[in-house]
Structure 1
Amino acid sequence: MLTATTQRVEDGQALRYRFMEMEDRYRKQALAMACALISLVDLRDAYTGGHSSRVASYARATALRLGLPDGQLDKVVMGALLHDIGKIGVPDHVLLKRGRLTDEEFAHIKKHPELGWMALKNIEDFKPISLIVLHHHERMDGVGYPGGLKGNAIPLGSRIIAVADSYDALTTDRPYRTARTKQQAIDELLRCVDVQFDSRVLAAFLDALD
């Protein structure tokens, strides 16, 4: 009886180890695919090369401060890596323009979250993160895009990426402006708390930034 029980325990442990190995392989494969997709965006716009990786790093640190479990943490990081994948569908003359965009050109840019969602939602590995990508330009006051979602109706992963994305954009040189200092960027984020950004997420981000 003891031997049979011991065998069942050992079989259960072996099964758990095998599952963990499979899960690790899945994560590595999904990450490799995400990096390959992001390289397509970086090849088109070298000026913002590395942006998605930096946003993913900021998002991961913020999610850790918020205490997200591993499964949810992985989705946030993957969503951050792929948040701009929809820019593949934005015309070059808009994406690469060295100057302020016209209203018509900005309308093209505003399509990239939905284009990203459309690209990811039918890929099994990326289906869980497609909504995070879709809503990363929503605002807490409900005037963001594409859905005009408000407050906690915005997925938490999207709220995290919104802060990380904005900070990196502010602290990076662009064709039409120079990068702001760390403190200037922080001041701008704080100015928009509870209007554009989730206060709890922003507090976690700033804690991680220190």
Structure 2
Amino acid sequence: MKNESGFELCRNGIDYHEIIECIVSALDAKDPYTAGHSQRVSDMALALSGFLKLDREETERIHIAAHLHDIGKIGVPDAVLNKPDRLSPDEWAAMKKHPQTGAQILSKSRHLNELKDIVLHHHERYDGNGYPYGLRGDEIPVGSRIISICDSIDAMTSDRGYRDAYSLKYCYEEIKRNLGILYDPEIGAVALEHWADLTKYVAE
């Protein structure tokens, strides 16, 4: 069975949204910061995909991938994941493996396999200086480029162990300043154009 977008969420009586919620809940139990983060990023990615007028099937694929974008953090050691201070270079290297781990997890399912590239590349940068593969521009899947912006918005507006949350005004200026550097300039411009509607999913 397919939802309106065409992406199959229920096969042989199995509701894959329910399974995805279970997977994300397991990560939330491991990392307090992610509790709610994946949902907010997913909500923003769905809204931004709508503002970009993507077709329903691609929108739903991005929506689900956004919900699972950090699932690879389940493989990051607790001491690194829950460290209240800034990470050391070795700890940061361990953290940066989470997109690959997430893609590997999704590749085990023939139903979720088509989401793995979006998850794998959500930390690439538009200028090619991201990770894990240094893709640039349109080499990066459009879903990954959307999630990158939404992930940054929620990260900046959330309290972390080593800093307080930034304001939405500060976040807006950071997204604007990094168009064409961190973020796709066209997607970023649409995000800024619909800023109030997009950021209603985060708390200031």
TM surpasses 0.5: yes
1:34-56 deviations in Å (ceiling 9; x for gaps): 11111111101113310000000
* Counterpart for residue 173 of structure 2: 187
Higher helix share: 1
Q: Give the counterpart letter for 1:89 in structure 2.
A: G
Match of 2:2 among 16, 23, 37: 23
Q: Structure 1 stretch 26-35 or stretch 136-145: which is displaced more?
A: 26-35
Match of 1:84 among 70, 75, 78: 70
Which runs of 5 or more residues in structure 1 are unaligned?
1-21
Offset at residue 30 of structure 1 (A): 2.0
* Counterpart for residue 202 of structure 2: none
Say if 1:204 and 1:37 are closer, same or farther in 2 by CA, change over 3 A.
same
Q: Give the counterpart letter for 2:155 in structure 1.
A: A
* Counterpart for residue 35 of structure 2: 49
* Counterpart for residue 204 of structure 1: 190
Offset at residue 109 of structure 1 (A): 0.4
1:158-189 deviations in Å (ceiling 9; x for gaps): 00000000010000001110000100011111
Q: Structure 1 stretch 139-148 or stretch 200-209: which is displaced more?
A: 200-209
* Counterpart for residue 174 of structure 1: 160
Equivalent-residue separation in structure 2 for 1:116 and 1:47 (angstroms) = 17
Q: Number of residues paired by the alignment?
A: 189
- Give the match's secondary structure for 1:43: helix
Q: 8 Å contact 2:31–2:82 — kept in the other structure?
A: yes
Q: 8 Å contact 1:58–1:205 — kept in the other structure?
A: no
- Give the match's secondary structure for 1:124: coil
Equivalent-residue separation in structure 2 for 1:93 and 1:102 (angstroms) = 12
Which runs of 5 or more residues in structure 2 are unaligned?
197-204
Q: 1:1-210 to 2 correspondence within 5 Å?
A: 22-24=1-3, 26-27=8-9, 29-210=15-196
Equivalent-residue separation in structure 2 for 1:77 and 1:86 (angstroms) = 17
Offset at residue 133 of structure 1 (A): 0.1
Q: 8 Å contact 1:110–1:145 — kept in the other structure?
A: yes
Equivalent-residue separation in structure 1 for 2:16 and 2:194 (angstroms) = 26
Offset at residue 27 of structure 1 (A): 2.0
Once superposed, what is the RMSD of the aligned Cα atoms?
Answer: 1.2
Equivalent-residue separation in structure 2 for 1:203 and 1:30 (angstroms) = 33
Equivalent-residue separation in structure 2 for 1:47 and 1:138 (angstroms) = 22
Q: Give the counterpart letter for 1:97 in structure 2.
A: K
Q: 8 Å contact 2:27–2:34 — kept in the other structure?
A: no
Q: Give the counterpart letter for 2:9 in structure 1.
A: R
1:4-54 deviations in Å (ceiling 9; x for gaps): xxxxxxxxxxxxxxxxxx213942522211111111111011133100000
Equivalent-residue separation in structure 2 for 1:47 and 1:128 (angstroms) = 27
Q: Give the counterpart letter for 2:108 in structure 1.
A: N
Tell me which stretches of 4 or more aligned residues in structure 1 moved more than 3 Å.
none
